[in-house]
Amino acid sequence: MNLSKYTSLSQRKFLLFVSLAIGVGIVLYFLARTTRIGIDLTEEKRFTISESSEKVIKSFDQPVYVKVMLDGDFPAGFKRLQSSTKDLLDRFRSINRNIIYTVESPLGEDQQEADKLKEALAKEGIIPINLIVKGSNEKSATLIYPYAEVTYGPRKMYVNLLEEQKLDGSDQEALNSSVGLLEYKFVNAFQKIANPTRKQIIFTQGHGELTSDELSGLQKAISPFFNVYFANIDSTYKISSNVDLIVIARPRAQFSDKEKFVLDQFLMNGGNLMFLIDKTNAAIDSISPTDGFVPFEYPTGLDDLLFKYGVRIQPNMVRDLECSKIPMVVGKVGTNVQTELFNYYYHLIPAPASNHPIVKSLDRVNLFFPSSIDTIKTKYPIKKTVLLQSSQYTSLQFIPARLDFEILRYQPDPTKFNKPPVALAVLLEGKFGSLYESRVPADMQEALAKINAPYKPFGEEAKILVVSDGEVARNHLNRVTGEIQPLGYNRFEKYTYDNLAFLVNSIEYMMDDNGILQARTKDIKLRLLDHNEIKHNKLFWQLLNMLLPLVLLFAAAWIYQRRRKKKYSY
């Protein structure tokens, strides 16, 4: 710019400043476009990649191809999911150029080819959503695939971009939750697809635990990422160091001292334990319509082990007004029996009790005759987190107590459901002390050292999850067809609770060495427009947004001209 024609020094300084500002702005714009440099000023840091996620993203030295199957013209909510996915992958790419992505529609225009592709995707478990789009005069339905295909070398897996699939395009809360979990879902997929070595999980057997058929839903969900075994631990003195997690799923019989010692030393060596315990044998199928049922306590022998680690499962049954329903006969017309659904206070549906990564954004979990869990002060500091708890409308019934269906005949008395919430699932983290501290004689310690299984009185960092209901992991059978129903499916209400997601999240958290599950805690806040205000004052806000900038611009120009005229007039 030629400044010589401007004789005034102040004019030249002003124009020089404007030119410099424009130049800096252009440079910053192109830097932002090419390097994704920016400052995250959002309250919840929605545009900041966590350190654990960044570590996983940086680890790739070969291309990772991501195909986002979310291309097309969608309602605003899904459009936001689409743009958020692209923006996140752009930020991943700014960290590592080996992250390469495309956005495309999985179905082409050829109907025959589209049908073949649908069938192929269905075999992979990729099911489309029938999205209802509301127009001005009518509704239209279209199939969309809210998934991303991640490929790394010969390995491939899919990422579900939607946290839940019961959406009609207007469910802003559900879509918002999906946006908040995108980072975790992609990084979790990256970590799994990059690591060919899979961690190992053992489900104990020999004590009446849930069988592989009863655990088929959970087993199917985790088998693509972990090696799953069912084993009896009574024939060994040491669990292999290759095993990362042992799950004790609804035991019925007693564990011997030898088995408890094996579990204890597995924990001391950094292994993780998951206890899914039925304290009593209460079950709805055991209750006689005429005589009722008196449950007893299962003699698992695990109480001293759990007490040492910091929890105690009480010999009681928790009742809660926030519960699922069961059918009861209310009448008969001819030969047809009439039934209605009634709240059954022993079948709880607790909501997540914290913002912990395991339960963040989860729906309710269905528990059957759970017991209350107390946390105990331990010799060594242990972090205790309550993941699930009953509501404020709680009642406790200690055994022995008679169970029947008479409670359903009357409206519940709120004065009898006045106990504070009680813990139903507790996570323990830290370095645990051994149950057998100062109890192992010297000759036994020598013998253990000789077989390369030295006794440890104090443990390494480990995790324990305790849930006071073993049925939480059980798949029920369809009594008519014999089919195994989805985990968490309530056959009476025909609704699927989040039992599977709760258990899968728990397992992933306990096996997560990089801490990527922390990305699940990212909370994207909705800042929606006031639709009532828009409806009544739409014209005002439109004029304000269009005219106010022009008014300010003309006002600034007028002030500038007035000052200039005053300064240079004679």
For residue 467, being part of any structural domain is answered with: yes
Mean pLDDT (whole number) for 283-292: 80
Q: Are residues 291 and 166 in the same domain?
A: no
pLDDT of residue 384: 94
How many domains does the chain divide into?
4
- How far is Cα 175 from Cα 182, in angstroms, rounded to an integer? 11
* Residue 182 resides in a domain: yes
Q: Is the pLDDT of residue 522 over 70?
A: no
- What value does the mean pLDDT take over residues 452-470? 91
Q: Are residues 27 and 58 in the same domain?
A: no
Verify that 118 and 16 share a domain, yes or no. no
Q: Examine the domain organization and report whether 219 and 126 are in the same domain.
A: no
Structural domain includes residue 46? no
Half-sphere exposure of 441 (CA within 13 A, CB side): 3
Give per-residue pLDDT as tens, 239-270: 988 899 999 999 999 999 999 999 999 999 99
User: H helices within 343-486, ranges in order?
Assistant: 442-450
Q: How far apart are CA 436 and CA 519, in angstroms?
A: 38
What are the pLDDT digits (tens) for 107-152?
Answer: 766 667 777 777 877 777 777 777 766 655 666 667 778 888 888 8
pLDDT digits (tens, 9 = 90+) for 12-66: 666 677 778 777 777 766 666 555 555 555 554 556 777 878 888 888 888 989 8
Rounded to an integer, what distance in angstroms lies between the CA atom of residue 390 and that of residue 153?
Answer: 47
Asked if 217 and 177 sit in the same domain, the reply is no
Same-domain pairing of 236 and 345: yes
Instruction: Give the domain extent around 447.
Output: 199-497
Residue 41, exposed/middle/buried by CB under 10 A (0-12, 13-18, 19+)?
exposed
Inside any domain, residue 511 = no
Cβ(194)–Cβ(473) under 8 Å?
no
Task: Specify the pLDDT at position 254.
Answer: 94
Q: How confident is the model at residue 168 (pLDDT cuts 50, 70, 90)?
A: very low
The pTM for the full model equals: 0.78
Same domain flag for 296 and 171:
no
Nearest by Cα to 316 from 251, 403, 377: 403
Of the three residues 497, 520, 547, the one that is the final residue of a domain is: 497
- 506 lies in a domain? no
More confident residue, 537 or 365: 365
**At which of 167, 193, 219 does a domain end?**
193
Q: Choose among 194, 224, 180, 199: nearest CA to 57.
A: 194
Of 193, 216, 234, the residue at which a domain comes to its end is 193
523: pLDDT strictly greater than 70: no
Q: Is residue 359 part of a domain?
A: yes
Q: 211 and 189 share a domain?
A: no
DSSP alpha helix (H) spans, 48-110:
51-58, 76-95
* First-to-final CA distance of the chain: 29
- The two three-digit tokens of residue 363, written as one number: 């729906």
Residue 509 lies in a domain: no
Do strands 272-276 and 243-249 pair parallel, antiparallel, or not at all (unpaired)?
A: parallel
Q: How much is the CA Rg of the chain, to the nearest whole Å? A: 31
At 183-210, the pLDDT tens digits run 888 888 888 888 777 889 999 999 999 9
Residue 168 lies in a domain: yes
Residue 248 and residue 170 in one domain: no
Residues linked to residue 142 through DSSP beta bridges, in sequence order:
131
Of residues 363 and 568, the one with the higher pLDDT is 363
The pLDDT assigned to 112 comes to: 74
pLDDT of residue 169: 41
Residue 3 and residue 62 in one domain:
no
Residues 313 and 445 in one domain: yes
Residues 261 and 346 in one domain: yes
